[in-house]
Chain A
Amino acid sequence: MTVRQLSIFLENKTGRVTEVLDTLGSEKIRIHAMTIADTSEFGILRMVTSDPDKSLTLLKNRGFSVNMTDVLALSTPAEAGRFAEILQCFSAEKISIEYMYAFSLGKTAYMILRTDDCTRALAIIAKNNLKLVTYDDLKFL
C-alpha cells in the first residue's frame, strides 16, 4: 500500500543532482516525483521512480549513498481545502508529518508524505476513505 521512495545524500556541489538524473535517465527509468531537502551543509534528494530496485542498484554502483523508505502517496480532487482536510485526518489522531511534497495539475492533486507511524496512517486513510496511490497506479499514470 505504501510507495517506495529513494533518498540520496548529496553534498552541496554543483552537478551532483544532474549526475543522479543522468544515471537514471540513461537506463530509461522514469521519475514520478522528486524533491530536495536542503541545509547549508548538504541535501537529501528524494525520488519516486518507475523502478525503485533498479534505481537503487544503479545509483549505488555510481558511488551514491542511497536509502529506501516507505512513504504514502495520496490523490485528491484539485479543489481548495482538500489538502487541509487530509492533514486534519492525521492531526486529529496525533500523527505527525515528517515531510511531504505535493503537486496539483488539472483536476487532480497528488501528495507524497512520510508520517511517524505508517501503520496507523494507513488505518486512518482507510477509515476516512482517502485515496491511496499505489506502485501499480504509478506505472500507468
Chain B
Amino acid sequence: MQKKIEIWNETFECMSREQMRECQSRRLVETVARVYHNVPYYRSKMQQAGLTPDDIRSVDDLHKLPFTTKKDLRDNYPYGLFAVPMSEIVRVHASSGTTGKPTVVGYTRKDLSTWSEVVARTLTSAGVQRSDIVHVAYGYGLFTGGFGIHYGCEKLGATVIPVSGGNTQRQIQLMHDFGPTVLACTPSYALYLAEAIKDSGIPREEFKLRIGIFGAEPWTENMRREIEEKLQIKAIDIFGLSEVIGPGVSSECQHQCGLHIYEDHFYPEIIDPETLEVLPAGETGELVFSTITKEGLPILRYRTRDITCLNYEKCECGRTLVRMDKCIARSDDMLIIRGVNLFPSQIETVLLEMEETSPHYILYVDRINNLDTLELWVEVDERFFGDQIRELQAIAKKLQHNLESRLGISITVKLVEPKSIARSEGKATRVVDKRKLI
C-alpha cells in the first residue's frame, strides 16, 4: 500500500517565510538581469525608468520596476518578449488578446519541467495520487488548460485520459467506461456534465469520480456546493493564466480556504488598480505576478486584472505558501465564456470589418442549463437590407461565422432594427451579463 502524498514538494511548499524570501530575491535578481540583457523591450523600459539590474537586489526593490500588461504582449506579437532564441523554445501556446491578435507565450524545456512541477503540486494539493485516473476535459490545443494538466498528471504518475472538450455524450461514456477518479474541466462544464449524467439514467455508483480540478473561469462557493452535491466529489479551485505559465499558478488544498500560490516560481503582489500602489497583505486589489524561474517568457509585474487579496498565515495543511482568495471580479471588461477569454472589442473589430452590419451592438451573456450563452444583437445596416428573408439570413449567418472563427466560441446573432440600440455619449453599454455568479 503506497503512502499517501499530501504535499508534492515539502521543501518549497513548507519553507519558512525567511528562507522563501531569500530564495525569491535570488531568483528575482537573476530574472531581472536575464530580461535586461535579452529582451530589448524590458531593457528599454528599465532604462526609461533610470534603472539597471543592480538597482534590484531583493524582492523589496520589485516596486521600482514598471508593470507589464496584455497590451505589451500584443505590441510585441508574436515572439518579441521571449528571452531566448527560438531554437530554445520547444512549445508555444496562445490565448485571446483584446483585438484580433492572440497573446502568445513560449516555453523552454526547463519551463515545461517547471510547469509540470507546479501542476503536480496542484494535483497533489487537491488530493490526487499516482493511483488516480484523470479525465481531462479542458481543451487541448493553443489553450494552456489541456496540455498543462496533462503534463502535470504524467509527472505525478497518474493515468491521464486526454479527452479535451465537446461531445458531452462521449464524455459521459468515457467517464463511465474508463473509470476516472478525477475530473478536470471548467466549473460550469462540471455542472453541465452533472445534469447530463442525471439525464442519462446511469446510476452515480457506476462512476468512480472523487475529485474535481476546476478553473479557467470564476466560480462561487455556491457553485462549489452545487457541484459537490450533484457530482458527489470534492471540488477544488485552481488558478492560472497563460502569461504566467498556464494552470499551476495556485490551487486550493483540501481545506478549501484560499489558493496556495507557488510563489517560489511566481511572486505575487496586490496593487490598487487606480493608483498602482502596492497594498499590504489582507487588502483587496489587483493581482500582479512576476515569474522568477521562467526562461522562455519571463514576465515582470504582470497585471492580471483579477481582484483578490493575500493571506500569509500558515495553513492547516502545513503549507507556508501565501494564499489568495477565490477570484470573482476583474478590473477590465474581459469576459470568460465557457472558459474562453473574450473582449467586447474583439466583436467590434469583426463588425467593423463587415459592411453589412453597423457597429452598434449589445452582447447578452447568460447561463442556461449551466452553459454560458452569448446572444449578439446587431443593427441591420439599411444599405444592405434588401427585400428578401434569404438575404438577411445570409448576413446573420456570415456574421455568426466570422465571429466564431475569430473568437473561437459560438455566438447567436439577432438582427435588430436600426437605431434600436441606445446610443450614449460616453462609453456605450455593450455587454449585459445576466449570469448571477452568486
| Cα(A98)–Cα(B414), bound, Å | 24
Binding site for B on A (CB under 8 A): 5, 7, 9-11, 37, 39, 41-42, 44, 46, 63-67, 69, 98-99, 114
Please, which residues of chain A bring their CB within 8 A of the CB of B389? Answer: 37, 39, 44
| Cα(A7)–Cα(B388), bound, Å | 9
The 3 closest A-B pairs by CB, nearest first: A69-B387, A7-B387, A65-B382
| Cα(A64)–Cα(B414), bound, Å | 17
> Are A65 and B385 neighbours in the complex by a CB distance under 8 Å?
yes
| Cα(A41)–Cα(B420), bound, Å | 15
| Cα(A65)–Cα(B386), bound, Å | 10
Please, which residues of chain A bring their CB within 8 A of the CB of B416? Answer: 11
| Cα(A67)–Cα(B388), bound, Å | 10
Please, which residues of chain A bring their CB within 8 A of the CB of B382? Answer: 65-67
Known: A44-B387, A98-B388. A9 touches B380 (CB 8 A): yes
Q: A7 — nearest CB in chain B belongs to which residue?
A: B387
| Cα(A9)–Cα(B385), bound, Å | 8
> Are B387 and A41 neighbours in the complex by a CB distance under 8 Å?
no
> Are A39 and B388 neighbours in the complex by a CB distance under 8 Å?
no
Q: B392 — nearest CB in chain A belongs to which residue?
A: A42
Q: List 23 A-B contacts (CB under 8 A).
A: A7-B386, A7-B387, A9-B380, A9-B385, A9-B392, A9-B415, A9-B417, A11-B417, A41-B396, A41-B414, A41-B415, A42-B392, A44-B387, A63-B418, A65-B380, A65-B385, A65-B417, A65-B418, A66-B382, A67-B382, A67-B387, A69-B387, A98-B388
> Are A64 and B417 neighbours in the complex by a CB distance under 8 Å?
yes
- Greatest chain A CB density within 10 A among B380, B388, B416 is at B388
| Cα(A11)–Cα(B393), bound, Å | 13
Q: B396 — nearest CB in chain A belongs to which residue?
A: A41
| Cα(A37)–Cα(B380), bound, Å | 17
Please, which residues of chain A bring their CB within 8 A of the CB of B57? Answer: none
Q: A46 — nearest CB in chain B belongs to which residue?
A: B387
Binding site for A on B (CB under 8 A): 380, 382, 385-389, 392-393, 396, 414-420
Q: A43 — nearest CB in chain B belongs to which residue?
A: B389
> Are B388 and A99 neighbours in the complex by a CB distance under 8 Å?
yes
> Are A63 and B415 neighbours in the complex by a CB distance under 8 Å?
no
Known: A9-B380, A65-B380, A65-B382. A44 touches B418 (CB 8 A): no
B50 to A: closest C-beta gap in Å: 58
A101 to B: closest C-beta gap in Å: 13
> Are B419 and A63 neighbours in the complex by a CB distance under 8 Å?
yes
B246 to A: closest C-beta gap in Å: 40
> Are B417 and A63 neighbours in the complex by a CB distance under 8 Å?
yes
Q: A41 — nearest CB in chain B belongs to which residue?
A: B414
B271 to A: closest C-beta gap in Å: 45
| Cα(A46)–Cα(B387), bound, Å | 8
B360 to A: closest C-beta gap in Å: 13
- Greatest chain A CB density within 10 A among B392, B415, B417 is at B417
Please, which residues of chain A bring their CB within 8 A of the CB of B385? Answer: 7, 9, 65, 67
Q: B377 — nearest CB in chain A belongs to which residue?
A: A11
| Cα(A46)–Cα(B385), bound, Å | 13
| Cα(A69)–Cα(B392), bound, Å | 15
Q: A6 — nearest CB in chain B belongs to which residue?
A: B387
- Greatest chain A CB density within 10 A among B387, B392, B393, B416 is at B387
B376 to A: closest C-beta gap in Å: 12
> Are B418 and A67 neighbours in the complex by a CB distance under 8 Å?
no
Other A-B pairs, 11, CB within 8 Å; known A7-B386, A42-B415: A7-B385, A9-B380, A11-B417, A11-B420, A37-B389, A39-B389, A64-B417, A66-B382, A67-B385, A67-B387, A99-B388
Q: A98 — nearest CB in chain B belongs to which residue?
A: B388
| Cα(A64)–Cα(B388), bound, Å | 16
Please, which residues of chain A bring their CB within 8 A of the CB of B387? Answer: 5, 7, 44, 46, 67, 69, 114
B195 to A: closest C-beta gap in Å: 26
Please, which residues of chain B bring their CB within 8 A of the CB of A5? Answer: 387
> Are A39 and B393 neighbours in the complex by a CB distance under 8 Å?
yes
Q: A69 — nearest CB in chain B belongs to which residue?
A: B387
Q: A10 — nearest CB in chain B belongs to which residue?
A: B417
A37 to B: closest C-beta gap in Å: 5
| Cα(A99)–Cα(B388), bound, Å | 9
Please, which residues of chain B bring their CB within 8 A of the CB of A41? Answer: 396, 414-415
Please, which residues of chain A bring their CB within 8 A of the CB of B396? Answer: 41
| Cα(A24)–Cα(B31), bound, Å | 74
Q: A114 — nearest CB in chain B belongs to which residue?
A: B387
B381 to A: closest C-beta gap in Å: 9
Q: B379 — nearest CB in chain A belongs to which residue?
A: A65
- Greatest chain A CB density within 10 A among B382, B389, B414 is at B389
| Cα(A73)–Cα(B387), bound, Å | 16
| Cα(A39)–Cα(B86), bound, Å | 53
Known: A9-B380, A65-B380, A65-B382. A44 touches B388 (CB 8 A): yes
Q: A37 — nearest CB in chain B belongs to which residue?
A: B389
Q: A38 — nearest CB in chain B belongs to which residue?
A: B389
| Cα(A66)–Cα(B382), bound, Å | 7
A39 to B: closest C-beta gap in Å: 6
Q: A99 — nearest CB in chain B belongs to which residue?
A: B388
| Cα(A10)–Cα(B389), bound, Å | 11
Please, which residues of chain A bring their CB within 8 A of the CB of B380? Answer: 9, 65
Please, which residues of chain B bring their CB within 8 A of the CB of A98? Answer: 388
